[in-house]
């Protein structure tokens, strides 16, 4: 598999680490136990296009949000994951 | 005495008669020529019997002339280089080659295991499941060893492989598999268009079927066209031809696997050269011109030595000048089979008869038969007379119902051709049925891949050239190379008329899968027993599961299944194709990563010095860490470790702790960031101070711990455990980038930048004053416990000094740039001599941490909470942090959780061992009353007995209770007392002093 890192260009799979589903958003402070439980444990089992977190540890150390088809491994988009998992919190 | 080569033609062929070679097969010496394969050389020497079959030990000969060979498997080479299941048909002959037949005892000609044929009824489809079901323990003790002796393939070398293997990457625009007419035409078109081309050919010669079948291309003989084409390709800027290289797999994103047999054609690789090289090729486009595989017809006795694929028969005659038979019979259902007749006649061989399943044989062929004086019989071969000495006679069922017999010493068989659909099907593409050639052709090929020529079902020479050229040009174009491809090569198209024929019913064993001894009757039985799906058929009969992966057998097998189940072949379908296309040695996948190079090794800054001291090292992940430093006269490791601990507790010692993960945290929000990743607060840490921190996973379990210091308002220095250095960095980057982008903070991994030593013991300050600039005040007032700041060393080198203690002693950790690590350790020894300074290893470090009750890896095991570790009070209630909410779950706060507690044996002479289970005293051990287990143990020189830490239910509420330690693994049972985990200096006066 090849991943086109937006910072480094096309690189080989071995440079990256997989984390998992990029859909869940971390609940804000004060969220209920149920909300956090959903965030930590509940995942859809997707057959098709799925957005995922990948880490370019063998390159620029950027966390990436990648849309990958779980049936074909086709990657349709790669973008920086900056802020993807954050709910806007009051500072 | 070397035998002559009785079956070698006087002239012709692509062998080098000026380079004679000697080789040995089953101990007998033979002669051959450069350019031979082992198979062609055996044929030239009249050897027909080359192996025994897998289950029935039937005599077998050479069936094919390529990598699809199911029969002629040998053990090649001797000693540590002995390689089992090597195909004689692809093994290049070299001088001194040694090969042995397999799966026979005591000899190939007199194989006692052939009695298996008498018990054939127990070896039918599914015999593994039927015969050896009961009793279960008989499987390991009786059945499996017996089967392995009786049925099987070659023997592995049993010694370490002395050769080297390599792995390499290559990148190109257009990758081409195969160098036949389609592959060479594709390379021409792509190369002329300006594409970067790699062409892989598994043979050592280029040309594919042209090598044996010839033909006319662009008005010249095929051989001349091939050499002109290769000459032109050599002038193109970026066309790379790799022979002896098989493309074996297709992976995601245009990545391909190829195995290059760099030196398999030599007795052993030349010095400093590899045996094989595993290539990962990244290609924008791929043209599969891998050709087609001729398929057998299934009839009784079709495995008799001397029965051979028709194309293989003419390959041996035309390419190798070796004659498998003197009086050849042909059994064909298609036009292409007749080329073997032409080749045999051209070489001066006799034709016994042609048995053609088609009623309408052309007038030209009939004229040829009349001229050469052989009969053309319309019908089927239904039986073979012969055995280990080869074919003697064939029986024929004529179309009208009559029978005939023909004497022959070699039967060529052609059932048509199957395009090599492996590569195009490796992404679960299902080949589709094409009626006019009665074969599966590629469909659903992976992105960027196209098949051309025979691999695409186009069998005519002209069509191969046209399709190959067009595919090469299109591939170059879509890779962005649009130079002028010029004119395509031109040739005529031969007729290919075929009447489908898979199986001739008759008495006697008719083999579908030669290598796994699967017969037509096995397939019929599988169908009767309900294993009708091709995937079930495959597992039940083991059809196509041998080392050849059913290249000659799969399609015939499913055609027979289709016939007996009353379905069409396309309805029956194919099994899923999976790489590798040919067997690939594990050594090639390993490459250089074996033995001491299995993984990278990380050495601490003091490693070379420690090695000079005779330190014993322990592997910790990739690191080598000094475990202890033995001295002359010490009888065992324990004596050494006791000495090291006493030296620290009574004087001063040091230990390299550079393996800890180290991260610089910079930025105005650094403190706020650390507050979110640690359970305790760091934003309120004063500059110049250090604090112990604990991280959780988001599920509330403890992730890692370490000391973090504030070196400036906007600069923290964070340490992790050795094991979690990489994962914590990745986790913190996730928090920083993905979860908390609003924080202005940056992380830098500095694990390798700093050499860090723990210096511990009451004389630590005395030693440090010899090292540190005298202007630095190290007094307890100026540098109190948990102080942390930059200092200058004597000579002006900048260092970081942390007053932290893992051992429980008065201690500092000192960091210097890694390049000074070796100098620092040598200076510590020099300066510390007057104080009796003692280097100590990880074992003494571990003893002192257990004495002090500090948790480490065995307790931070991914299932413990902060409270379990006795650190629950560190959890801030006034801020959000990773893991906070989940850590509050009812079960994680339950009162009966297993928590860290100290243990010591009631018998002070007793040795403890970690892993022992803790159960209430007086109860019978079992899962119902298992209350935890011992996690860490050591012999404490300070307490003069073994002590430990354990995870025990309500452990801290039970201090003083005597419980039972049960160790079924080591057969030990003893009593231990639960106690305060801090065995040494519980009020911490020593580390503060
Ligand atoms: Zn990158």
What does the pLDDT look like over B87-136, one tens digit per residue? 999 999 999 999 999 877 778 888 777 777 766 666 667 766 665 555 66
> What kind of fold does domain A2-80 have according to CATH?
Folate-binding fold (3.30.2270)
Centre of ligand 1 from the C-alpha of residue A12, in Å:
11
Report percent pLDDT > 70 for chain B: 96
Ligand 1 centroid to Cα of residue A80, in Å, is 9
Q: How far is A28 from chain B (nearest CA, A)?
A: 9
Q: What is the pLDDT of residues B175-209, one digit of tens each?
A: 999 999 999 999 999 999 999 999 999 999 999 99
Closest CA to B68 of B547, B560, B573: B547
Chain A residues touching B254 at Cβ < 8 A: 2
Does residue A25 belong to the interface with chain B, where contact is any CB pair within 8 Å? no
Domain locations along chain A: 2-80
CA-based nearest residue in chain B for residue A76: B253
Task: Look at residue B14 and give its three-state secondary structure.
Answer: coil
For residue A91 the two structure tokens come to 């500072």
HSE value, Cβ hemisphere, 13 Å, CA-based, for B847: 28
Whether B216 and B258 have beta carbons less than 8 Å apart is answered as no
B730 touches chain A (CB under 8 A): yes
Mutation target to probe the B interface, by most B beta carbons within 10 A, among A10, A26, A82 is A26
Cα separation, B48 vs B40, in Å, equals 11
The CA distance from B986 to B806, in Å, is 13
> If you count residue pairs, one on A and one on B, with CB atoms under 8 Å apart, how many are there?
73
- pLDDT at position B407 is 97
Q: Quick check: A79 contacting B, CB < 8 Å?
A: no
Interface test with B, best of A10, A40, A79 (most B CBs within 10 A): A40
CB pair distance less than 8 Å for A40 and B737: no
The CA B127 to ligand 1 mean position distance, Å, reads 54
Cβ atoms of B177 and B286 closer than 8 Å: yes
Closest chain B residue to A39, measured at CA = B698
Name every chain A residue with its beta carbon within 8 A of the beta carbon of B172: none
Q: Which residue of B has its CA nearest to A30?
A: B880
Partnered with residue B964 across adjacent β-strands are B919, B975
- For residue B757, give the H/E element and its range: strand B754-760
pLDDT reported for residue B105 = 73
Picking from B176, B256, B170, B180, the residue whose alpha carbon sits closest to that of residue B476 is: B176
Task: Please report the DSSP string for B660-705 in residue order.
Answer: SEEEEEESTTHHHHHHHHBSS--TTPPTTEEEEEEEE-TTSSEEEE
Residues 6+ apart with CB under 8 A from B940: B847, B850, B851, B946, B947, B983, B984
Q: Are A86 and B254 an interchain contact pair (Cβ–Cβ within 8 Å)?
A: no
CA distance B543 to B526: 11
Weakly modelled stretches of chain B, pLDDT under 50: 1
CB contact A31 to B (< 8 Å): yes
> Can you give B312-374 as a three-state secondary structure string?
HHHHHHHCCCECCCCEEEEEECECCCHHHHHHHHHCCCEEEEEEECCCCCCHHHHHHHHHHCC
| Residues of B in Cβ contact (< 8 Å) with A40 | 698-699, 886
Chain A residue closest in CA terms to B427: A72
Do the strands B754-760 and B811-817 form a parallel or antiparallel pair, or are they unpaired? antiparallel
Strand arrangement of the beta sheet that strand B746-749 belongs to: B689-696, B702-712, B715-720, B661-666, B746-749
Q: Please give the residue of chain B at the shortest CA–CA distance from A75.
A: B253
Note whether A16 contacts B: Cβ–Cβ < 8 A.
Answer: no
Provide the CB-side half-sphere exposure for B244 (13 A, CA). Answer: 15
pLDDT of residue B1: 45
Cα distance between residue B675 and residue B694, in whole Å: 11
User: Ligand 1 centre and the CA of B479: distance in Å?
Assistant: 24
Question: Mean pLDDT for each 10-residue chunk of chain A (91 residues)?
Answer: 96 96 93 95 96 97 97 95 73 39
Average pLDDT, chain B: 94
- State the average pLDDT for chain A: 92
Q: How many whole angstroms separate alpha carbon B784 and alpha carbon B203?
A: 75
* Separation of CA A90 from chain center: 24
B252 Cα to the center of ligand 1, angstroms: 19
Residues 856-885 of B with CB under 8 A from A: 879-880, 885
Mutate to test the interface with A, among B593, B885, B886, B887 (most CBs of A within 10 A): B885
All domains of chain B, ordered by start, with CATH? 16-131 (3.10.20.440), 165-292+420-478 (3.50.50.60), 312-414 (3.50.50.60), 502-572 (1.10.10), 607-658+754-783+791-849 (3.30.1360.120), 661-749 (3.30.70.1400), 893-993 (2.40.30.110)
Global pTM reads: 0.92
CB B913, CB B972: distance < 8 Å? yes
CA–CA gap between residue B492 and residue B355 (Å, rounded): 27
Tell if the CB–CB gap between A63 and B737 is shorter than 8 Å: yes
Nearest to B740 among A17, A80, A86 (CB): A86
């Amino acid at each position: 598999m090849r991943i086109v890192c937006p910072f480094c260009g096309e690189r080989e799979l071995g440079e990256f680490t997989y984390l998992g589903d990029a859909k869940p958003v971390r609940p804000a402070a004060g969220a209920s136990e149920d909300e956090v439980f959903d965030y930590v444990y509940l995942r859809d089992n997707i057959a098709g296009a799925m957005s995922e977190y990948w880490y370019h540890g063998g390159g620029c150390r950027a966390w990436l949000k990648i849309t990958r088809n779980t049936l074909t491994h086709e990657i349709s988009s790669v973008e920086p994951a900056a802020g993807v998992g954050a709910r806007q919190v009051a500072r | 005495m070397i035998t002559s080569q009785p079956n070698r033609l006087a002239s012709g062929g692509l062998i080098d008669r000026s380079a004679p070679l000697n080789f040995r097969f089953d101990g007998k010496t033979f002669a051959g020529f450069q350019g031979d394969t082992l198979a062609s050389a055996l044929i030239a020497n009249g050897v027909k019997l080359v192996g025994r079959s897998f289950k029935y030990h039937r005599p077998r000969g050479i069936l094919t002339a390529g990598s699809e060979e199911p029969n002629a498997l040998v053990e090649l080479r001797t000693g540590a280089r002995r390689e089992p299941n090597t195909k004689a048909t692809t093994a290049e002959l070299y001088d001194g080659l040694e090969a042995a037949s397999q799966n026979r005892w005591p000899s190939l000609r007199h194989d006692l295991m052939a009695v298996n044929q008498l018990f054939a009824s127990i070896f039918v489809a599914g015999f593994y499941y039927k015969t050896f079901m009961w009793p279960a323990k008989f499987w390991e003790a009786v059945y499996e060893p017996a089967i392995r002796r009786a049925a099987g393939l070659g023997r592995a070398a049993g010694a370490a492989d002395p050769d080297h293997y390599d792995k390499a990457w290559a990148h190109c625009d257009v990758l081409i598999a195969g160098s036949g007419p389609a592959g060479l035409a594709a390379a021409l078109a792509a190369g002329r268009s300006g594409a970067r081309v790699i062409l892989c050919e598994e043979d050592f010669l280029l040309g594919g079927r042209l090598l044996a079948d010839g033909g006319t291309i662009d008005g010249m003989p095929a051989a001349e066209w091939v050499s002109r084409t290769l000459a032109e390709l050599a002038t193109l800027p970026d066309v790379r031809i790799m022979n002896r290289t098989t493309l074996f797999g297709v992976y995601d994103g245009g990545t391909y696997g190829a195995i290059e047999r760099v030196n398999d054609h030599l007795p052993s690789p030349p010095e400093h050269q590899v045996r094989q090289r595993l290539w990962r090729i990244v290609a924008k486009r791929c043209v599969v011109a891998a050709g087609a595989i001729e398929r057998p017809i299934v009839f009784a006795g079709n495995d008799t030595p001397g029965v051979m694929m028709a194309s293989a028969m003419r390959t041996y005659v035309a390419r190798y000048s070796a004659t498998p038979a003197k009086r050849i019979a042909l059994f064909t259902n298609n036009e292409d089979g007749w080329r073997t007749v032409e080749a045999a006649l051209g070489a001066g061989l006799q034709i016994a008869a042609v048995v053609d399943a088609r009623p309408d044989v052309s007038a030209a062929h009939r004229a040829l038969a009349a001229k050469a004086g052989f009969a053309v019989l319309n019908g089927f071969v239904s039986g073979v007379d012969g055995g280990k000495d080869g074919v003697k006679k064939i029986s024929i069922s004529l179309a009208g119902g009559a029978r005939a017999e023909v004497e022959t010493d070699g039967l060529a068989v052609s059932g048509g051709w199957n395009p090599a659909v492996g590569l195009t099907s490796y992404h679960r593409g299902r080949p589709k049925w094409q009626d006019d050639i009665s074969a599966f052709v590629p469909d659903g090929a992976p992105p960027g891949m196209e098949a051309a020529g025979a691999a695409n079902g186009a069998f005519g020479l002209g069509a191969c050239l046209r399709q190959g050229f067009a595919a090469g040009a299109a591939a170059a174009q879509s890779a962005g190379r649009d130079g002028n491809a010029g004119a395509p090569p031109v040739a005529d198209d031969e007729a290919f008329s075929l009447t489908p024929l898979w199986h001739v019913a008759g008495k006697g064993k008719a083999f579908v899968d030669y290598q796994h001894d699967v017969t037509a009757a096995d397939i019929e039985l599988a169908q009767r027993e309900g294993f009708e799906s091709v995937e079930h058929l495959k597992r039940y009969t083991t059809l196509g599961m041998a080392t050849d992966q059913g290249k000659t057998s799969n399609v015939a097998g499913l055609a027979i299944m289709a016939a007996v189940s009353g379905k069409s072949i396309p309805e029956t379908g194919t099994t899923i194709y999976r790489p590798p296309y040919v067997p690939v040695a594990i050594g090639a996948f390993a490459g250089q990563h074996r033995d001491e190079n299995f993984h990278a090794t990380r050495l601490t800054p003091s490693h070379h010095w420690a090695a000079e001291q005779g330190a014993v090292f322990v592997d910790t992940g990739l690191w080598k860490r000094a475990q202890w430093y033995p001295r002359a006269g010490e009888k065992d490791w324990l004596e050494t470790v006791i000495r090291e601990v006493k030296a620290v507790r009574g004087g001063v010692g040091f230990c390299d702790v550079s393996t800890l993960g180290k991260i610089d945290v910079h930025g105005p929000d650094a403190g706020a960031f650390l507050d979110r990743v640690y359970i305790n607060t760091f934003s309120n840490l004063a500059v110049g101070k250090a604090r112990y921190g604990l991280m959780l996973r988001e599920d509330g379990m403890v992730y890692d711990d370490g000391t973090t210091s504030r070196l400036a308002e906007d600069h923290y220095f964070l340490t992790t455990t050795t094991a979690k250095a990489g994962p914590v960095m990745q986790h913190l980057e996730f928090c920083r980038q993905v979860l908390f982008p609003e924080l202005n903070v940056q992380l830098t991994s500095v694990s390798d930048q700093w050499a860090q030593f723990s210096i511990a013991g009451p004389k630590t300050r005395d030693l440090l004053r010899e090292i540190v600039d005298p202007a630095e005040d190290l007094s307890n007032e100026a540098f109190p416990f948990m102080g942390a700041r930059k200092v200058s060393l004597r000579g002006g080198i900048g260092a970081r000094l942390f007053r932290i203690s893992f051992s429980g002693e008065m201690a500092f950790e000192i960091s210097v740039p890694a390049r000074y690590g070796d100098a620092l350790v040598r200076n510590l020894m020099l300066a510390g001599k007057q104080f009796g300074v003692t280097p100590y290893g990880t074992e003494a470090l571990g003893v002192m941490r257990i004495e002090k009750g500090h948790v480490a890896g065995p307790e931070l095991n991914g299932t413990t909470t902060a409270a379990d570790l006795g650190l629950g009070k560190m959890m801030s209630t006034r801020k959000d942090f990773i893991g906070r909410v989940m850590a509050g779950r009812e079960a994680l706060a339950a009162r009966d959780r297993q928590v860290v507690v100290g243990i010591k044996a009631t018998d002070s002479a007793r040795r403890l061992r970690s892993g022992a289970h803790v159960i209430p005293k007086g109860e019978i051990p079992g899962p119902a009353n298992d209350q935890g287990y011992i996690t860490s143990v050591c012999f404490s020189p300070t307490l003069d007995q073994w002590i430990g830490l354990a995870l025990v239910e309500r452990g801290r509420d039970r201090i003083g209770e005597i419980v039972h330690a049960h160790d079924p693994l080591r057969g030990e049972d003893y009593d231990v007392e639960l106690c305060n985990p801090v065995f040494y200096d519980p009020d911490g006066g020593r580390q503060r002093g």
